[in-house]
Amino acid sequence: MKPKTLAILAVVTAALGAFVYFVERDLPSTDEKKELETQVLALEADDVTAVTLRAEGREVRLERVLPEVADDEDDASQEPEWHVAMPQKARADAQAVLGFLGELIGLRIERSLENVDTTAAGLDEPRFSIVVSTSEDEATLEVGADVPLSEDALVRVTGETGGTAAQGRVVQTGFGESLREKVAQSAGDWRDKRLFFGRQSDVQRLAWMSTDGRRAALLRAGDGEDFLLDEPIQDRADRDRVRGLLSSLAALEAASFEDGEEARSAFAAQARFEITMTDEEAPWQLELAELEATEPLARVGGEDGQLVRLISGPVTEAVVASPESWRSTAWTHLPVFRVDEAILDQVGEELLAIRRHESDWLRTLGDTARVAENAEGDMAGDEVPYTAASNVLYPLSEVRAERLLAESDAVELDLEEPQLRVTLVNEDGEENMLLYGLTDEGLFAARAEGRDVVLLLPAEKVDELLEAVKALRDAEPVPPPADAAAEDDVVGDGT
């Protein structure tokens, strides 16, 4: 064969291969074709943009809504929302809608029927009608009579459905009780029972007020997880209680919906809860009534908002709690992993300091005990066992006051000279803490920088802390590795 002929054949073969790859690569395989032939609806749930359900004289329309994506967020990470669009407007339970679509698209053709009497098959006046819409087409599934001695029903599919074998035909399929119940649901039954859809990290301020004049507000402290009590007094807020409140907001659900006009006109709020979110102009509102009830009445979203019954929890309890109960009982707000250095100045003892160095702790003692770098740029100090350092830091971080005293109520206590001064250091700065002696009620008095309260700490916890400080002070340095010790000997010998 001539070279020219071979070249032409090579070009033709390459072109044919390219055609097969680019034209047929998206076509279904043989197995996929067999699967499509058994599907009642040849659709993917992600392609569905709306569903219209007609049953028992009612019509409900559910529509998919793509949420707005912030500049710093990945579009793929945003789950689509589903809304009830008709006969009323509300946010739908997306998981319930997706579950229904999964069941619907999972229907398989059990048997195809020819020359069917549509009147006898119940398809002239179908019991249920489901219109499934995509961005390109629409398919209608009509459900007729039941098939005796089974949970199947006779159905007919009309409209563009992606080429399913059921199109325009009457087929038998497993349209069971679960699907029937969901198609017959009212619009209200499709509503999402969740009431708060914000992210906890976006909450900047929480405020609540009641008709008896009680009010309080929590304000996020900078970009971290801590909150400050902003009203009616200013202090550090209890981290655990705030976390519990934020978690309860994320899980806040309606026990039931109150749709009657009588309940709406009779609603009289006893308290209001407001949440200010990042980049949101207006705060999210929750108004509360019948606070003494097991399921208080609530209105979400202001005057024209939805009326619901709530299950009592941290959100409803917050509005009746004393604002003072939100004050932190912790001596420090720093968790151990955020502490880079600790300086302990105890009466009658050498100044003691420890500093984090990679995964270890270095210790220095004496008047210049602040751990620093030496002339060579290395950390000064002896390496001490990790447990000796953590046995001091964890009690500092975890101890909680049994009571808080206002400064005006602490005038009779001996708070002139502290027996222990603690300075905790991290990249954001320093926090200073003072420990005094025992009070008449057997509690240690303490202060924390920036707070106008005296913390009364349990004696057992303070004793554990003081014992750990002594153990840290007396701890033997960690021996250097054998190779490092040998190297020091060589340098010391001058060899």
Pull the structure tokens for residue 64: 């998919």
Q: What CATH number belongs to 336-474?
A: 2.60.40
Nearest to 275 by CA among 315, 326, 320: 315
Model pLDDT, residue 454 = 94
Question: Which residue in this structure is represented by tokens 């602040």?
Answer: 370
- CA angle (337, 341, 347) in 5-degree steps: 125
SS3 assignment for 262-305: HHHHHCCCCEEEEEEECCCCCCEEEEEECCCCCCCEEEECCCCC
Could you tell me if 118 and 99 are in contact, meaning their C-beta atoms sit under 8 angstroms apart? no
Model pLDDT, residue 38 = 80
pTM for the predicted model, two decimal places: 0.71
- CA angle (252, 253, 258) in 5-degree steps: 135
**Which alpha helices (DSSP H) does 251-408 contain, by range?**
261-266, 314-318, 386-398
What is the mean pLDDT of the segment spanning 228-255?
Answer: 90
149: which residues sit within 8 A by CB, 6+ positions away? none
Model pLDDT, residue 6 = 52
What's the rounded Cα separation, in Å, for the pair 53 and 142? 10
State which amino acid sits at residue 371: V
Sort strands 81-86 and 58-65 into parallel, antiparallel or unpaired: antiparallel
Q: Is the predicted pLDDT of residue 372 greater than 60, yes or no? A: no
Q: Give the chain's mean pLDDT.
A: 83
Model pLDDT, residue 32 = 46
- Identify the H or E element spanning 353: strand 352-357
205 vs 428, residue with greater confidence: 205
Q: Is the predicted pLDDT of residue 22 greater than 50, yes or no? A: no
The confidence band for 190, taking pLDDT boundaries of 50, 70 and 90, is: very high
The confidence band for 207, taking pLDDT boundaries of 50, 70 and 90, is: very high
Per DSSP, the chain holds a count of helices (H) and strands (E) of 10, 27
Model pLDDT, residue 149 = 84
What is the mean pLDDT of the segment spanning 302-310?
Answer: 87
What's the rounded Cα separation, in Å, for the pair 129 and 52? 8
Pull the structure tokens for residue 413: 């206590």
Q: Is the predicted pLDDT of residue 184 greater than 70, yes or no? A: yes
339: which residues sit within 8 A by CB, 6+ positions away? 356, 393, 397, 424, 425, 426
- Of the chain, the end-to-end C-alpha distance in Å amounts to 81
- Break the chain into its structural domains and give their ranges: 31-190, 200-326, 336-474
Give the strands of the sheet with 254-258, arranged side by side.
235-236, 227-231, 215-220, 203-210, 271-277, 284-289, 297-300, 306-310, 254-258
SS3 assignment for 447-478: EECCCCEEEEEEHHHHHHHHHHHHHHHHCCCC
Model pLDDT, residue 12 = 45
Q: Is the predicted pLDDT of residue 161 greater than 80, yes or no? A: no
Tell me which fold the domain 200-326 belongs to. Dna Ligase; domain 1 (3.30.1490)
